Structure 1
Amino acid sequence: MANFIKIIFFLIIVGGIGIYFLSQSPKIFQGSPQEKVSAPSQTFVSPAPTSYTSPSLSPAPQAISDYLIPSGFSRGQLSPYFEKINISASYAYSHFNPSEIKLSSNLSDNEKVNITGWQIKTNNGEIIIPQAINVYEPSGLFPQQDIVLSGNNYVNIYLSVNPINKNFRLNNCIGYLQNDYVFSPSLPQNCPTPSRSEISYLSGQCQSYILSLWGCKVPDKDSDSFYVSIGGSSEEEVECRAFLDTIDQNGCFRKHRFDSDFLSNEWRLWIREHILDSQHDRVLLFDKQGLLVDEYTY
């Protein structure tokens, strides 16, 4: 009986000890290597948006050296096109060689710059660069459009009268207009001449006459002695006269419109505003946002 009581007493003690350890287990095992530790919270920061810069907007004004910034202007007033388009000017007294403002481009191969709407300011006034005709067609169906410069394109702005009231880009056939209108300065006389193989079927006299029409000259159908002399009905005369009738701006345009070198790098604009000083002036070029593109003084 005594042994039975000892066993019961022993079990009560063991059970009490077990209950005590179970109640204290969170504290005892806290920090144990087996304890699962929560990862520290993290804040997600979205990446900055990618910046895309148009090739035509380089270099950034920040890359311009201080000494290149014109007097009276700050870096923040410089156009992204600063040093991309250059301006120069020359004053003239002659009607045949009028005062001129020239814009020349300094662009890389893939760059294009729309300059229509840009402003030119001098001490005497200001002008806005207008639209012009990119491909001048003799038919008269030539829409005016914004002037977009690329590569080594350049613009000559003449401060004088335009005889046809249209600004345009030069091409290899535009010189024929000089036969009917007086442009100042004169249009280039570099119209394509017929090749020998092209006229070889014509009489020798007809070929000689055609080759004598250098530049952009056209036959004078009213007073030219040779043209009048071939008024007969012989096959030779008819063929010669038919070919001579193609020597003009229309014929040139039909033959050469799609030549790879048909369009010139030069644009010509006429603006009847005398804004240049006859002695000294400061000429400023601004983009559409009113930011400075270039300065020229003389």
Structure 2
Amino acid sequence: MLNGIAIAVGIIVLVLALQANPPEYTDLTEDAGSGNQEVVIQADTRERRDIENELISLYDDARDLQDEIDSYELRQPASPYAENVTLHRGYIGGTDPDYEYLILTLAHDANVPIAISDWYLESVVSDERVGLPLGVRVLSRPLDRASENVVLEPGSTAYLITGESPLHSSFRENRCTGYLAEEDTFYPSLYRSCPSAKNDMVLYGNIALDNDRCYDYIESLYTCELPNDRDMSRARINHACERFVEDNLNYVGCVENHRSEPGFTKYGSWYIYLEKDETLWRSKREIIRLIDEHDRVVAILEY
């Protein structure tokens, strides 16, 4: 490719020289007043325009070739994960690090899961660099500390969020994390599709079928809603119903009841927090590289 640029540049130099000093043509014609006279005829306007257009075309080709070379060099040395991992732009451009994020995806046809906690992100433009932290695959309670490598499974997604975690850890979504969104703000928003409160009451509540007030109250709750004392008081539910609600219809109770079920985390995205108090990425003219544990380039994002 480098030879291609050298050739293109050589052609451009030649065309420039021809444009500056067009070839001369000698035509012997007879002048009525002085006899034979040498008349110099230069390239006409149309020929000049053709040369200029050719010059522009050659310049564009050389520039495209240089862009290809630059992009190739930015991706070297290439990681073996590069063909399956993609880095996308999420939200970039504000001043709040809690809202700034990138999106990392692992292809559905990837052969194996990939551990990424030893990887890091870097800006080619600003030299910013930040490592990807440990996480918790299943939070048993909201403030569990990160203690394990983040592992992406084929087809999964990770949000790489610049700011601080509301839970003080990076974590993966599961069937119960919708309850967490009732108490804290997450961006991007958590997926809210918790197990049915009514089904849980049948399985774990030991509530009599004629306890209409309890059934009516449970059926009035929307998915992932955290019950509150005021509404329970208005519903005039009995102690057994109240006990079921307090023990089961929250994040901790939900995890205890459902974490062993197949697919508990199957479709959950990772929320990976870089724990920075300022934004990292430029809003425009930025190049971000994702580097693996052996300093090889996994993915690149240019905008």
TM range (shorter): 0.5 to 0.7
Deviates more, 1:172-181 or 1:141-150: 141-150
CA–CA distance in 2 between the matches of 1:240 and 1:295? Answer: 54
2:78–2:296 Cα contact (<8 Å) kept: yes
Counterpart in the other structure of 2:135: 132
Q: Residue 295 in 1 paired to residue 300 in 2?
A: yes
1:70–1:268 CA distance, 2 compared to 1 (3 A):
farther
- Segments of 5+ residues of structure 2 without an aligned counterpart are 1-66
Q: Residue 210 in 1 paired to residue 218 in 2?
A: yes
2:114–2:153 Cα contact (<8 Å) kept: yes
Find the partner of 1:230 among 220, 228, 236.
236
1:112–1:296 CA distance, 2 compared to 1 (3 A):
same
Residue correspondences, number? 225
**Cα distance, 1:285 vs structure 2:** 1.1
CA–CA distance in 2 between the matches of 1:112 and 1:88? Answer: 19
Cα deviations by residue, 1:103-153 (Å, 9 ceiling, x for unpaired):
100253641211111111122312111111011102866652111222111
Counterpart in the other structure of 1:256: 258
Counterpart in the other structure of 1:60: none
Q: Residue 162 in 1 paired to residue 165 in 2?
A: yes
- Segments of 5+ residues of structure 1 without an aligned counterpart are 1-66, 232-236
1:89–1:283 Cα contact (<8 Å) kept: no
**Cα distance, 1:94 vs structure 2:** 7.2
Query: How large is the Cα RMSD of the aligned pairs?
Result: 2.9
1:1-298 correspondence to structure 2 within 5 Å: 71=71, 73=73, 77-90=77-90, 91-93=92-94, 95=96, 98-106=99-107, 108=109, 110-122=111-123, 123-124=125-126, 125-138=128-141, 144-195=147-198, 198=202, 201=209, 203-221=211-229, 223-224=230-231, 226-227=232-233, 230=236, 237-245=238-246, 246-263=248-265, 264-271=267-274, 272=276, 273-298=278-303
**Cα distance, 1:239 vs structure 2:** 2.7
- Which of 1 and 2 has greater Rg? 1
CA–CA distance in 2 between the matches of 1:278 and 1:141? Answer: 33
Counterpart in the other structure of 1:34: none
Q: Alignment partner of 1:87: what SS?
A: strand
CA–CA distance in 2 between the matches of 1:187 and 1:250? Answer: 16
Q: Alignment partner of 1:178: what SS?
A: helix
Give the share of equivalent positions with the same residue, in percent: 23
